[in-house]
A and B are shown apart, each in its own frame.
Chain A
């Protein structure tokens, strides 16, 4: 059964930014695992620490930030302790990240073929001709028409969604063990999105690739993920099997999130919105960070709530008054 080492086990990860205005605790005690071949959705409000969690795993946290605590076990090896050389040899080959902003992957002054061929040859000893073919096939995989002509273009000659697809194709090149996909399909229409999700799903099933899919789009994770983690203000507030969480959300934030999906509302009417705004990380409310916005908050919420499994095994929540009536 489940005694295989997971592809990734993040344990109590803390990544903080030491800014002039104070310490921003962007990731503050995050734990989750991703098994071989599994797709885990990481959802949460803008600014809740999803991307920084991803950057921490691949070792690309920007100054003035750093991982201050916790373990990042990649097939048992703690990446929080790994040196730069080790990270460089893993990155792109065994672990890849698709960045939210495709221009973080693409170099604006180089042609797409130059960049992709270089990416292929960085970890594989193949001729330029073979590398070009690999690159071309990768573009076809993500639905880019006229791939031969397109290879000769520069990034600015692509549409926004095409740039995103090139970044995805680049991440898929070496069939890594783990892909961290940060909102990779947000600017894509449904057909292309379907094409990419198809390719990604196939890779997970056929090669046992594991996937962390960061998104705010619940309708995409709903179709793709096995499990889901919901983040709020640097912490995971709810986690479980996809159906458990979406059908029986326990945390008031998850509940509000599901309620504000446009299709659940009537056209032209104001959308249900979670009141208030994301707290500043420099100035987090005491206790449960959600309490100023939470309809169920009371005095008990002024102490940091513990993680519990009140309804079903494996469905965890960090809240003192979870929505048990929905469970």
Chain B
């Protein structure tokens, strides 16, 4: 079999909050304050094949953006290794990794903080392609117009600054900027969350077309299961820093294996449901600062058994191409 385009092996990312001066003084006086460690990404194994669209889904705060940033080279992993077509590229800067042919662009969740407020849209989108020699300086205006049209924005807009746009328009500028450098791998972090459905449809269709035209590979981070189902070949489910299930899209939606996936699918809001009574979350929401022992999901899992508290279930292949990390799978 061909090597995956990108592979993560046991990748972890921890954020350590060191003690501030006041807290150190408390400790000198006999206190017992400890450094807080956020286990944002915890020993994740993940691969993405060339031309594949992988959807990454999970609760808010479970580590999706952090994982995306590690892949895009924005964060260095605390542990583990990143492979590109079988070559270890762990710890290389995005520029160095690029020399290996790895060209990752990321579309950020938060467009306001990722667009330079003092640059006009024309330069935000057109500068990098000129610098990278994709187009000549003289071609910039036509190129920017074309990119703007593709994401459904009027080329007239290119003389404006980011703050002069609506939220969804800004997000599309971020998309246009990422696509303008013709990346091979695109990490889309909630890239279409702020778009209304008709433009979502347009951008989703654009992503699908580009995939065919440019053989683009995607990691598509989203909490919107409807969109993920529509767009992805394979879906990876994260819970509190760990991958708990991964499967081809259809199989995952038809027959989820992990209890967390099952719970997630049950909650999807539907346009058919009127005047719904929303329910509070049952039990404590677990924290990556102090994750539950064993299976992270056990405090909320309807099938939890004593073993689940004591022992971390490993992610194993339960059927060809299907992976799940739950003790229920090795009962029989």
A pairs with B: yes
Residue positions of A touching B, CB distance < 8 A: 17, 19, 21, 43-47, 50-52, 62, 100-101, 103-104, 143-146, 149, 152-153, 157-163, 165, 182-183, 186-195, 197-199, 201, 216-220, 222-224, 242-243, 246, 256-258, 260-265, 267-268, 270-274, 277-280, 282-283
Q: Which of B61, B267, B287, B290 contacts A159 (CB 8 A)?
A: B61
With both chains docked as a complex, state the minimum distance between the C-beta of A211 and any C-beta of chain B, in angstroms.
Answer: 13
State in angstroms the CA–CA spacing of A76 and B189 once bound together. 43
Q: Is B200 an interface residue (CB 8 A)?
A: yes
Among B95-103, B125-133, B176-184, B274-282, the stretch that binds chain A is: B274-282
State in angstroms the CA–CA spacing of A287 and B198 once bound together. 22
In the complex with contacts A46-B166, A222-B269, A271-B201, A146-B290 CB distance below 8 A: yes
**Chain B contacts for A257, CB-based, 8 A:** 196-198
A267, B229: Cβ atoms closer than 8 Å? yes
Closest partner residue, chain B, to A158 (CB atom): B61
A160, B169: Cβ atoms closer than 8 Å? no
Q: Is B213 an interface residue (CB 8 A)?
A: no
B226, A189: Cβ atoms closer than 8 Å? no
Known: A47-B165, A194-B281, A271-B204. 13 other contacts (CB 8 A): A46-B196, A46-B199, A101-B110, A103-B113, A187-B190, A189-B59, A189-B60, A195-B278, A256-B198, A262-B224, A267-B230, A270-B208, A278-B199
Q: Which of B157, B199, B287 contacts A45 (CB 8 A)?
A: B199
In the complex with contacts A45-B199, A161-B60, A103-B112 CB distance below 8 A: yes
Closest partner residue, chain A, to B163 (CB atom): A62
Residue positions of B touching A, CB distance < 8 A: 15, 17, 36, 38, 57-61, 64-66, 109-110, 112-113, 149, 152-154, 156-157, 159, 163-169, 172, 189-190, 193-202, 204-205, 208, 223-227, 229-230, 249-250, 263-264, 267-281, 284-287, 289-290
With both chains docked as a complex, state the minimum distance between the C-beta of A139 and any C-beta of chain B, in angstroms.
Answer: 11
Closest partner residue, chain B, to A266 (CB atom): B230
Closest partner residue, chain A, to B148 (CB atom): A277
Closest partner residue, chain A, to B170 (CB atom): A101
**Chain B contacts for A197, CB-based, 8 A:** 278
State in angstroms the CA–CA spacing of A219 and B272 once bound together. 8
A187, B60: Cβ atoms closer than 8 Å? yes
**Chain B contacts for A265, CB-based, 8 A:** 230
With both chains docked as a complex, state the minimum distance between the C-beta of B179 and any C-beta of chain A, in angstroms.
Answer: 17
Closest partner residue, chain B, to A271 (CB atom): B201
A-B pairs with beta carbons under 8 Å apart, 8 shown = A160-B110, A195-B280, A197-B278, A223-B274, A246-B274, A260-B201, A263-B270, A277-B202
With both chains docked as a complex, state the minimum distance between the C-beta of B106 and any C-beta of chain A, in angstroms.
Answer: 13
**Chain A contacts for B271, CB-based, 8 A:** 218-219, 222, 246, 258, 261, 263-264
State in angstroms the CA–CA spacing of A265 and B227 once bound together. 10
Q: Which of B15, B264, B287 has the most CB of A within 10 A?
A: B287
In the complex with contacts A145-B286, A146-B287, A193-B269 CB distance below 8 A: yes
State in angstroms the CA–CA spacing of A198 and B272 once bound together. 18
**Chain A contacts for B272, CB-based, 8 A:** 222
A201, B205: Cβ atoms closer than 8 Å? no
A145, B281: Cβ atoms closer than 8 Å? no
A223, B269: Cβ atoms closer than 8 Å? yes
A145, B226: Cβ atoms closer than 8 Å? no
State in angstroms the CA–CA spacing of A323 and B231 once bound together. 31
With both chains docked as a complex, state the minimum distance between the C-beta of B262 and any C-beta of chain A, in angstroms.
Answer: 13
With both chains docked as a complex, state the minimum distance between the C-beta of A170 and any C-beta of chain B, in angstroms.
Answer: 17
Closest partner residue, chain A, to B281 (CB atom): A195
In the complex with contacts A21-B156, A159-B61, A223-B278, A260-B264 CB distance below 8 A: no
With both chains docked as a complex, state the minimum distance between the C-beta of A65 and any C-beta of chain B, in angstroms.
Answer: 10
Closest partner residue, chain A, to B111 (CB atom): A101
With both chains docked as a complex, state the minimum distance between the C-beta of A14 and any C-beta of chain B, in angstroms.
Answer: 17
State in angstroms the CA–CA spacing of A199 and B156 once bound together. 42
State in angstroms the CA–CA spacing of A279 and B156 once bound together. 11
Q: Which of A161, A195, A242, A273 contacts B201 (CB 8 A)?
A: A273
Closest partner residue, chain A, to B267 (CB atom): A190
B154, A280: Cβ atoms closer than 8 Å? yes
With both chains docked as a complex, state the minimum distance between the C-beta of B237 and any C-beta of chain A, in angstroms.
Answer: 11
State in angstroms the CA–CA spacing of A165 and B59 once bound together. 13
Q: Which of A104, A160, A222 contacts B109 (CB 8 A)?
A: A160
In the complex with contacts A47-B169, A145-B285, A222-B271, A100-B194 CB distance below 8 A: yes
**Chain B contacts for A217, CB-based, 8 A:** 197, 269
Q: Which of A201, A218, A222 contacts B197 (CB 8 A)?
A: A218
Q: Which of B113, B193, B270, B277 contacts A219 (CB 8 A)?
A: B270
In the complex with contacts A51-B167, A159-B65, A160-B65, A274-B198 CB distance below 8 A: yes
**Chain A contacts for B149, CB-based, 8 A:** 277
B190, A160: Cβ atoms closer than 8 Å? yes
**Chain A contacts for B205, CB-based, 8 A:** 270-271, 273
B193, A186: Cβ atoms closer than 8 Å? yes
State in angstroms the CA–CA spacing of A192 and B57 once bound together. 14
**Chain A contacts for B198, CB-based, 8 A:** 45, 256-257, 260, 273-274
Closest partner residue, chain B, to A65 (CB atom): B164
Q: Which of B66, B166, B208 contacts A51 (CB 8 A)?
A: B166
**Chain B contacts for A52, CB-based, 8 A:** 166
**Chain A contacts for B36, CB-based, 8 A:** 149
A165, B60: Cβ atoms closer than 8 Å? yes
With both chains docked as a complex, state the minimum distance between the C-beta of A101 and any C-beta of chain B, in angstroms.
Answer: 5
**Chain A contacts for B153, CB-based, 8 A:** 277
**Chain B contacts for A19, CB-based, 8 A:** 164
With both chains docked as a complex, state the minimum distance between the C-beta of A318 and any C-beta of chain B, in angstroms.
Answer: 18
State in angstroms the CA–CA spacing of A222 and B275 once bound together. 7
**Chain A contacts for B226, CB-based, 8 A:** 219, 261-263
A45, B196: Cβ atoms closer than 8 Å? yes
State in angstroms the CA–CA spacing of A182 and B167 once bound together. 10
With both chains docked as a complex, state the minimum distance between the C-beta of A124 and any C-beta of chain B, in angstroms.
Answer: 26
With both chains docked as a complex, state the minimum distance between the C-beta of B60 and any C-beta of chain A, in angstroms.
Answer: 3
**Chain B contacts for A194, CB-based, 8 A:** 267, 278-281
State in angstroms the CA–CA spacing of A93 and B194 once bound together. 27
